[in-house]
Structure 1
């Protein structure tokens, strides 16, 4: 009997509690699918109203695909943006959920069979610890970024207290991270992000464990340092469960580029996409179009100019410009909608990925063996880009800085795309990483074994 066929989780009931944004939601739903393969009973806590239509639609498809899941709809208390000191809709949702968690005590207590464990988003640690203590169950966190980013999360509160003015953050056993690579909101005192990062970072040791979408081939040394106490003494077990596999329910309705890709030769297309939260300026959108058109390669480009999709009302011609759009359509495909990124990266025609380096995107590229041109836009992405470059699976033009702060000219972008697509070294290293990822996700591989061990812990109440 294969590992995934064993009824190991029959008596184990786990609540999954994601937060706002597709970058946080997607790994939770992929984890849910993995746990279901191991026969766990699951309750998914969904916060309403959601910030984006993409989140609502993905949850709907997930629940339809897995009717055995219990969805606990959680209506959060509204939050005044002035009180929260932020205008970021996703950060506001983080804070609103945190302030509403106490409302979950009663419905979670009433679940049958009783919960064995709670797995919450990293942005909810402080509130979730109170909740799990009340319910008398273990509390785990799914950290939705890299292991090196987690090491920063764990160590940063202590650095901030001891050396607030330094230009580098030195993390024991990991190395130094320039402050210029830190998530920009972290450097804003009294911001929601700063508060969550520093307050919750101090409480990591109260958790029963930390799950990370990481694999040995990319971050084995970092995970080992975290678990040996070399980074910070007293941390809970850090469990790499990656790469988390994409699932069929993630396929969105709408125009699919797959038929277009089928007509093209292997590794002849560059895929450009900058995540669910990156809104480029009109000036930068124009330069991206010029860069793609001048690269000499066919391209598939996903355009986004609004942070929240519900506010996205304009058509492609209005955003890109009618004249440029006509030139682009001769050389590639341009879309302005949610696509199945993993399916695109896995297509034989795609040979390179221009990416913001959100962690889900990095892991999907690794899983499919596609080299990356890293162009960080915000958040953890500069730290992720550094890892991509260090592991030799992509290139990072550091002088471009943060994508939302400066405009990269099309001619330079086109030249870098050409360099990416023609690098045999990057392609070979990406192919090696793909092989390692395939071993990790195979039946009985490291992902299966990690999930089995987790279920064993949860069944014992630890």
Structure 2
């Protein structure tokens, strides 16, 4: 049991501990949430490995975590592990090369428990916000009388609702919402490997220890889904908090060295809404053949574009990565109209730029939230994980995007003509204009929700009041 010297009350009514899964989309979201919580005068302790704390700080955009005195980074060590190279030829596109990293994170349990014991003595209430895939790592918080935990889901409420209903075999008879019923048939087939499903099931088992769940979402986007999930939590005497968007909305441009990011300077020379940003996230590996088809499709679309072309992250993103090859002479041919970015691309700042009018994306939830919050419509091309369900939410429900390829054709290569068609529809047709208008409208609503007395603002204040009680 934690004790405070001389029976004096701890200096803080509450302190928050963030425990992300050490993959980019998870690290980034919880680091952004750390900013929101610390802005409400609550100290935050961000826990990860030495490499992944560095990764989170290096890649974050829109603010500088090193300038926030109330965010404390705790760097822990894991045993050495083998980090295989990404395999673009894998039948299932899930990044199984990151499975060893996920498995080794379970070894953080004891150092995390030790740190939690120390932190519990510094605060009246210790609040752990942990990634849903880090449940086993934080399980020892139950031995601390002043600690409680909240599970953070790094995916959409829509995805979690469908996943929950399928996995607990709950009947759909008691659900009347037409949005949910329409898409109740969606399958998670080929979204994950068997090994990752096993890992996920084991981690989710620890959710029974929590006091509620947190989503990077808001009701203007996912009202029906959040309401159903909230009712489910209420039945368990737990609470749901929709605190999104986590990412900053007033973007302060960062610089890379003295010259700054080349792609942002290039965007400065373009007209509003004329450039499509192409990026498939940090865990996608594409075959050489597929890369060639994308390259030709972008070129023949005759639209301006920025293409972030990198191989998928390995367990340590600072290791050497493979340079992806393009057709000979390609970059010379597209010069002036297209730009290929091979280093880390400042995605949030690109999406916030006035010249960006579209985003061809894998539909990872982090990317979806960033794009929607900036009012940028999406060309949806899901690859694995929660991305197929997110793409349905984007294109069919919110109607802020168009589809490159339906998930049922996931085993087939997407040819250049399909890439060209999707880009043209979004960037050069009346239908595309309507999709952009809708994206701007929802984006405006999302941004209003985080302002004082907006829904997300009130949710965050309610959460802070709750943990500071």
The residue that corresponds to 1:110 in the other structure is 118
| SS in structure 2 of the partner of residue 261 of structure 1 | helix
Equivalent of residue 148 in structure 1, options 151, 158, 175: 158
Alignment of 1:292-311 (within 5 A): 292-308=298-314, 309-310=317-318
RMSD: 3.1
Mark the CA change 1:307 to 1:419 in structure 2 (over 3 Å): closer, same or farther.
Answer: same
TM-score of the aligned structures, taking structure 2 as reference length: 0.83
Q: 1 CA distance for matches of 2:407 and 2:326? A: 22
Q: 1 CA distance for matches of 2:390 and 2:371? A: 13
Alignment of 1:63-462 (within 5 A): 63-78=65-80, 88-111=96-119, 112-114=121-123, 115-128=125-138, 130-136=139-145, 137-159=147-169, 172=175, 174-175=180-181, 176-178=183-185, 180-182=187-189, 184-185=191-192, 188=194, 191=195, 193-229=196-232, 233-234=235-236, 236-246=238-248, 251=254, 253=256, 255-308=261-314, 309-310=317-318, 312-315=320-323, 319-389=325-395, 390-399=397-406, 401=408, 405-421=411-427, 422=429, 423-460=432-469
Mark the CA change 1:448 to 1:262 in structure 2 (over 3 Å): closer, same or farther.
Answer: same
Mark the CA change 1:201 to 1:109 in structure 2 (over 3 Å): closer, same or farther.
Answer: closer
TM-score of the aligned structures, taking structure 1 as reference length: 0.84
Q: Deviations over 1:247-272 (max 9, x none)?
A: 86994736331221121111111111
Gaps of 5+ in 1: 1-8, 164-168
- Contact persistence 1:30–1:246 (CA under 8 A): yes
Q: 1 CA distance for matches of 2:366 and 2:351? A: 12
- Contact persistence 1:214–1:241 (CA under 8 A): yes
Q: 1 CA distance for matches of 2:54 and 2:39? A: 28
Mark the CA change 1:22 to 1:442 in structure 2 (over 3 Å): closer, same or farther.
Answer: same
Q: 1 CA distance for matches of 2:173 and 2:21? A: 29
- Contact persistence 2:116–2:141 (CA under 8 A): no
- Contact persistence 1:252–1:340 (CA under 8 A): no
Q: Which moved more, 1:200-209 or 1:130-139?
A: 200-209
Mark the CA change 1:414 to 1:268 in structure 2 (over 3 Å): closer, same or farther.
Answer: same
- Count of matched residue pairs: 432
Q: 2 CA distance for matches of 1:336 and 1:416? A: 23
Cα offset, 1:393, TM superposition? 0.5
Q: 2 CA distance for matches of 1:351 and 1:448? A: 28
Gaps of 5+ in 2: 1-10, 85-93
| SS in structure 1 of the partner of residue 283 of structure 2 | coil
Q: Deviations over 1:397-442 (max 9, x none)?
A: 4436576x43211122111110011222201211110111121121
